[in-house]
Chain A
Amino acid sequence: MEDDDELPILTVVSSSARQLYLLLRCVNFSEKAHVQISDEGLKFSVDEASVMEGSAFLDKSLFTSYTYRSPPPQRSQHADSDEEDSEITTNPTFQISLPSLLETLQIFGLTDPNNSKPPWARDNLTSTAFSNNVLGMNNMCRISYSSFGAPLAVVLTEATIRTTCNLTTYEPAFADEIPFDRQSLAFKTIMRGTWLFDAISELGSTNPERLTLVARVARGKPYFALSASGPLGSARVEFNNNHNHNPVHSSRAAAPTAPSGTEPTDPPAPTNLLETFQLSTPDTPLRSSYKFALIQKAARAMSVATKVSIRADTQGVLSLQFMIEVESGKVSFVDFRFVPLVEDESETGEDGERMETILGDGEEGSGSGGGTEDEGEGEEM
């Protein structure tokens, strides 16, 4: 083919396959991932039954070199197809097997048995001050995509081993993202990723079916809660900005960490639990439910993220945006979107009222007083 002689569409070099691995692992919940190449970076998106999608964006600043040659429209005759120019000029999109890519990226991960030994005990005494691993140059990773339909080639180099992986590229299967309307946000809050992770893992212990997100302003103070319900009962984790820095686990009678660590003498401390709290309609509490199992798929991202921005639009679509620090100073973003479950009419009205109480609404400094279960809703198992 004539295109074979052309320069490749994409050539990127990363000094650390591990970084890429850590980010892509966050969205590893499906066999195939869509890859979209653009001037800004590589976007890997994964979709689950069109009710959830996750995407990891590898910004070009993550790479030591990033060369993207946008395929010019006039070369579109490639691959025997007479598609219109308009379609060809868009950025290349294709699918690859994400588990395969991840497995490839960690092919050298901690494999070197020499690492655990002191230098004099190693098999090959070739290590010098300029050895690749001393310089931190191992795990060099080069990704290239030469032309439409070509495989995505990943080349990893470590010392004298070179691994080449050609990932078959498939036609993209879905085109539409889950629509999320940034212009009409119903709710937005930002907190630390690990707090959300702790909350979800705690709630996950009951194996619930649905996760309900509740946000409202109670007596001028923000209130945010995640409650999970399933056949074994329900549990709720509440976050508020009152006095304590830790999420209050209402389902545990005495939240173990809440009262001891912090003195309630300085309530408006800058280390608020919720960094931002915006509710478009402060008068009416926001409630929307999602399938718990789907939210759980974002757990990996929660556990490594420094911050998470939780947003819901007026349609109830939930967006979780994770800020992940891959190395000091450099941040990357991993996004998830979830389509809400249709609310059960009967449940909504009454349950909304019940939500009022648990935290004790701030008369008590410690917040641990909220532990008393009044509705019999909090049994954990």
Chain B
Amino acid sequence: MRFKASIQNITTFTKLTASLNSLGPLAWVKLSDEQVCFTIIPEQGTQVWAVLSIDTIFETYTVQSAANNVINLEVPLTSLNRALKSALNATSAQIRLTKKDNLPLLALTIATTSSSNSYAAFPTTGANNEDGLNTLDASFGGGSRETIVTQEVPVRVLGPDTVAGLHEPQCREPDVHIILPPLMQLKSISDRFTKLALLGARSGTTASRTRLEVAANMHGCLRMSIKTDAMSISSVWTDLNNPELDPGQVAGGDIGIAEHPSTRMKQLGSADGRSEEGWATVRIDGRDWGKVMSVGRLGGRVIACFCHEHALILYVYLPNDNGDDESVLTRLAWRFFHLPISSYYDLHTNF
């Protein structure tokens, strides 16, 4: 069993682990020849099934195992995230699976170039282009000193039969799909909603109810609302975007689209969000939602798929560094499943 890779995009990897960590302490990481999967299945709340193409975070990637070159690990996210943070200023970082005292661990080897001489010579280092400085150091030869730090993250290797029972939840075709407004904005408002609900619970006699109701329609509207004894409040976003379905991706092609639930939902409701019709609604625990919203730090595009009274699936796409907007959508499909009802239907939709 071998796994070795150099980390290509440390910042993204760090933000990713930090976001995952807010939803659960342990991740199931599945390494295979084609992709890296991060999965979080908390006791209750939102599941994350993140699939990354290898080059999103790694390069020179090798994975070998007796089971079809697939390695399944249980990784404590807090430790991994802490280790990655120390690599933020690294010139290079490598990760590999190894053993110490017969215990498996992920060893993170971080190389940092501390160039003490050059700092004295160029006091304005901070404002300069670091790459430029590094090449300069290299040309001076002895000007820089490389420091190597190794961080060890203890992990557990999961056998194929352990994870055999874990499957991505399947849902029926969503009624509404919509691009969410910036998550940080959503979060700040939903946090206030949660606070309001708790205020209401304190003054009222009923137990605390932080059940946010989130709804969207096919006319670019998103609605978030909460009810307490003392009040009911709702915020409506308008002018959002409902992405078009790609006939090549939907089962049944054009006919499939014509029969798609979202096509039917398009007939209902209005763009100003005042109509009571055409909303697909789900109820979510306020605190759980707040945690999910913390992926906002990745700054990606988020498409929410609403299965009315059933499930909410968020697809998070990482922003692309080179600004190529089309490839963005294929970079990372990160799915948050929120399933209040434990029955699954088929989901074939891709955007």
Contact = CB atoms under 8 A, between A and B. Distances in A.
A91 interface: no
B48 interface: no
Interface stretch (B65-73, B123-131, B181-189, B258-266): B181-189
A97 B192 contact: no
Contacts of B240: 160
- The dominant DSSP class at the B interface is mixed
A112 B240 CA distance: 16
B238 A103 contact: no
B235 A97 contact: no
A328 B200 CA distance: 35
B238 A111 contact: no
A129 interface: no
B233 A160 contact: no
A97 B199 contact: yes
A103 B192 contact: yes
B235 A31 contact: no
Contacts of B234: 163-165
A164 B238 CA distance: 14
Contacts of A96: 230
* Contact residues on A (Cβ < 8 Å of other chain), bracket: 20 to 34
Contact of A113 (B182, B195, B203, B237): B182
Contacts, number: 78
Contacts of B275: none
B184 A113 contact: yes
Contacts of A124: 182
B163 interface: no
- Dominant SS among interface residues on chain A: mixed
Interface string A106-130: 1110011110000000011000000
B24 interface: no
Interface string A185-205: 000000000000000000000
B347 interface: no
A351 to B, nearest CB: 41
Contact of B233 (A108, A114, A166): A166
A100 B232 CA distance: 10
Contacts of A167: 230-231
A168 B182 contact: no
Nearest to A163: B235
A105 to B, nearest CB: 11
B45 interface: no
18 contacts: A31-B202, A96-B230, A99-B199, A103-B192, A103-B199, A104-B233, A107-B189, A108-B189, A151-B231, A160-B237, A161-B189, A163-B189, A163-B234, A164-B235, A165-B232, A165-B234, A168-B230, A168-B231
Interface of A: 31-32, 96-97, 99-100, 103-104, 106-108, 111-114, 123-124, 151, 160-168
